[in-house]
Structure 1
Amino acid sequence: MAVSTTKPARQHPGEASARKHAWLGSALSFGGAPIGNLYESVDDASATATIAHAWQRGIRHFDTAPYYGYGLSETRLGDALHDMPRESFTLSTKVGRLIEDDAQQDSHADGFIVDGHRARFDYSRDGVLRSFDASLQRLRTDHIEVLLLHDIGELTHGANHPAILRQALDEALPAMAELRAQGACKAIGIGVNEEAVCVEVMPRFALDVIMLAGRYTLFEQAQSRQVMAQAQARGVAILAAGPYNSGLLGNANGPGKFYNYAPADAATVARAQRFYDVLAFTHTDVGAAALQFPLAHPAVASVVCGLRSIAEVDQAAARLQATVPAAAWRALHDAGLLQEGVSMP
């Protein structure tokens, strides 16, 4: 899991945890939403070069979903990785939506700059199997390592959440467990942006993994305390996605303007600025601290970072290996910017 192919890298937080899971390729994972044209278009050649460069830099786990560009992200990953030895990388994708042709779909309402397709929720057994089959075709493989049930929870489904949860427990997750038993995947779980549904599902269905986006990050930990504790107790691996909270802490020179996939309000930006102010005293890159922080938690197996370009791959690889002094973590704690009792690198 070195971040360079030319010299050995020092062990970083999360490396031992990543090695513990046979289905996981590296402690830093490639998030595939940006190459699905999230918010802006990426051409095929640039996407292919970015994926290949990530592999060359030692990133060995690649995460995607049918929803990301309505199949575009999966297709690009499948094409770019097809000539790599299959045992040299691991894949995760998701079920819960079916991608359909729709000549009228050109509003880009979901944020993906892709015309002619739409995504429809389907958590039925048949929907899961159809989605998985289509994903394997796009990814050009006969198996994946991690299969996640995508976007269940009240945050996404509102008043329909109880019915969706029942269907997830009665149909979707059992179908995924069958795929795991058949060897079509090695681990199953859920991929969500909220804590509540994780806490609801874990006691009722045995999960291997949870991808939790944006809730256990340097910027916030309050809305993940229960899920992190229960995951650790139950041996459920956490894939910590969205480490920059939609770019809020990803910039080198100051806070970004987005949080939770939407424009950040003034109070959120002001709090983010405090991280930059505090870490400036220890000459610490905020992005490096944000990328490394989740990996210190014993339940976290990998941090999933959305990557759009070769430059972003290089930046993430460098940040993972950057030295963040102990004084930086103490300063953040003393400033009240980290929750009491959180694991620090």
Structure 2
Amino acid sequence: MSQFQQRSLGNTHIQMDSLGFGCAPLGNLYQQVENRDAEAVLSQAWNAGFRYFDTAPHYGQGLSERRLGDVLRPHLGQDYLLSTKVGRLLKPAGYAKERHCYHSPMPFDIHYDYSYDGIMRSFEDSIQRLGLDRIDILYMHDIGEVTHGDANEAYFKEAMSGGYKAMDELRSQGLVSAIGLGVNEYQVCEAALEHGDWDCFLLAGRYTLLEQESLHSFLPKCEQRNCSIIVGGAYNSGILATGTKTKGTLYYDYGPAPETVIEKVRKLEQLCEEFELPLAAAALQFPLAHPAVVSVIPGMSNERRIQQTLDLFSHDIPNEFWQTLRQRQLVEEATPLPCDS
């Protein structure tokens, strides 16, 4: 049974845990994880009370889905939520040491396909890789200019016509319970709102302690339409977890952090030091103060990180910290904060 507070997902019957488990690291993102270690961390997560798991075909080119399915299969019939993504088909490509930032992935490469047939094929392939009898939430993955550049206009048109039609049919037939987008750009989610009835968006890195631009128009529209937000990338690719005083490269948005970002993190870090609390705890708890946000899903690659995440998530943060955060203009003025409730 889940130990976390649950929130309603959009207009669906789904009750989602406020803390979920992101499975990208279990596809060997940036570093290799052995099969036995992947099984151990997922089993530990289950025993610790995690019941929402998010994966994707892209994570290790099928590896994360296979590993997650193997651990969840003994729990069939029990109360858990599973989300995966569509939009990438996997084609045989031979073994490789590294592919798309994933080390020792499955021997496939990706082919983007947001058509009706492509989405249906992607859904069916995921069911087979997972070896499970259901997928609860289906996200259209990485539609947007960051991924597709100049080709995005054509991809987006196809995704909002044939791709959306397929996802809507899967939902209508009860094969999935909710549909949405899983992306790194709030702008493409805002555009998608004009093309379909979406239940939720998994938004990575665009509503965090570090940046709140999505507050200006996108998040209010989600509130109006009762479309829920699941926050991925709450640490903005690492800099809000490590802070600025660690040795080595500081990462933001999947690359080295620019100086402007580092300087803002230094100010956040200084405030946290004044209150003697971890920067990562504030970063993890921050998004859930927004009424549209139902869950935050950090990635965890080892058993130590599970307990560390639980400690950060439950860390007591005084209202005075959040009030000072606003007074020093370290967040946008209209940002909802935990001290407001």
User: Would the TM-score normalized by the shorter structure come out above 0.5?
Assistant: yes
Aligned length: 335
Does the 8 Å contact 1:69/1:113 carry over to 2?
yes
Does the alignment pair 1:286 with 2:279? yes
- Aligned alpha-carbon RMSD (Å): 1.9
1:189-228 mapped onto 2 (5 Å cutoff): 189-228=180-219
Aligned to 2:241, the other structure's residue is in SS state: coil
Does the alignment pair 1:39 with 2:30? yes
Does the 8 Å contact 1:148/1:190 carry over to 2?
yes
Does the alignment pair 1:26 with 2:17? yes
**Alpha-carbon distance, 1:223 to partner:** 4.0
Which of 88, 99, 113 matches 2:103? 113
Name 1:70's counterpart in structure 2.
61
Does the 8 Å contact 2:10/2:228 carry over to 1?
no
Name 1:260's counterpart in structure 2.
253
Which of 284, 288, 301 matches 2:294? 301
Paired letter, 1:108: E
Name 1:149's counterpart in structure 2.
140
Name 1:6's counterpart in structure 2.
none
Q: CA separation in 1, counterparts of 2:20 and 2:139?
A: 15
Paired letter, 1:67: H
Paired letter, 1:263: P
Does the 8 Å contact 1:254/1:276 carry over to 2?
no
**Alpha-carbon distance, 1:107 to partner:** 6.2
Paired letter, 1:59: F
Does the 8 Å contact 1:239/1:300 carry over to 2?
yes
Does the alignment pair 1:82 with 2:82? no
Does the 8 Å contact 2:184/2:206 carry over to 1?
yes
Paired letter, 2:177: K
Does the alignment pair 1:177 with 2:168? yes
Q: CA separation in 1, counterparts of 2:67 and 2:91?
A: 18
Q: CA separation in 1, counterparts of 2:54 and 2:168?
A: 19
**Alpha-carbon distance, 1:124 to partner:** 1.2
Structure 1: which 5+ residue stretches go unaligned? 4-8
1:122-141 mapped onto 2 (5 Å cutoff): 122-141=113-132
Q: CA separation in 2, counterparts of 1:19 and 1:121?
A: 28
**Alpha-carbon distance, 1:21 to partner:** 5.4
Does the 8 Å contact 1:214/1:243 carry over to 2?
yes
Deviates more, 1:249-258 or 1:328-337: 249-258
What's the CA shift string for 1:182-202, capped at 9, x where partnerless?
111100011111121111110
Name 2:332's counterpart in structure 1.
339
Paired letter, 1:40: Q
Q: CA separation in 2, counterparts of 1:252 and 1:259?
A: 11
**Alpha-carbon distance, 1:224 to partner:** 4.7
Name 2:149's counterpart in structure 1.
158
Paired letter, 1:92: S
**Alpha-carbon distance, 1:114 to partner:** 2.5
Aligned to 2:216, the other structure's residue is in SS state: helix
Paired letter, 2:293: V
Q: CA separation in 1, counterparts of 2:26 and 2:56?
A: 11
Name 1:327's counterpart in structure 2.
320
Q: TM-score, normalised by structure 1?
A: 0.92
Identity of aligned residues (%): 39
Paired letter, 1:114: S
Does the 8 Å contact 2:244/2:266 carry over to 1?
no
Q: CA separation in 2, counterparts of 1:253 and 1:18?
A: 35
